[in-house]
Structure 1
Amino acid sequence: MSAGDKAQHKAEELGGKAKEWAGKATGNEELTEEGKTEQAKAGVKGAVEDVKDAVGDAAQKVQDKFKK
């Protein structure tokens, strides 16, 4: 995952936390839930990117082994 992707996911997560906090502070349950949803989405995106990285690394190791 690129540094830009990581930064974007972190920004989305922080935005979700801010919405959740604002919702709790104002008693707005809809905003609280929206913030939690945004955090979850950012977490899933990050996890998918981590899996892609792991698969790519494993594929590269296999290719490197057969090059020898």
Structure 2
Amino acid sequence: MSAGDKISNAAEDVKGKATEAVGKATHDDSKIAEGKAEQASASAKKAGENIKDIFKD
């Protein structure tokens, strides 16, 4: 996984956590769901990149 991909995935994860926190603070279920979806997307991308790395070797 390239450094740029790692940074991008980490940023997406942080953004998702922030969105979820805003949703919890404002009791906005759609923001909570949006934040969790962003975090899941970042995790899926990270897993995909890790698999690519395994097969590169």
1:1-68 matches, within 5 Å, as 1-57=1-57
Aligned CA RMSD, in angstroms, stands at 0.3
Q: Percent identity?
A: 51
Unaligned stretches of 5+ residues in structure 2: none
**Which of the pair has more CA radius of gyration?**
1
Q: How many residues align?
A: 57
TM-score using structure 1 length: 0.83
TM-score using structure 2 length: 0.98
Unaligned stretches of 5+ residues in structure 1: 58-68
1:12-67 Cα shifts (integer Å, max 9, x gaps) = 0000000000000000000000000000000000000000000111xxxxxxxxxx
CA drift of 1:4 comes to 0.6
Q: Distance in 2 between matches of 1:14 and 1:21?
A: 10
Q: Which has the higher contact order (CA 8 A, sep 6+)?
A: 2
Q: Distance in 2 between matches of 1:25 and 1:32?
A: 10
> Which aligned segments of 4 or more residues in structure 1 are displaced greater than 4 angstroms?
none
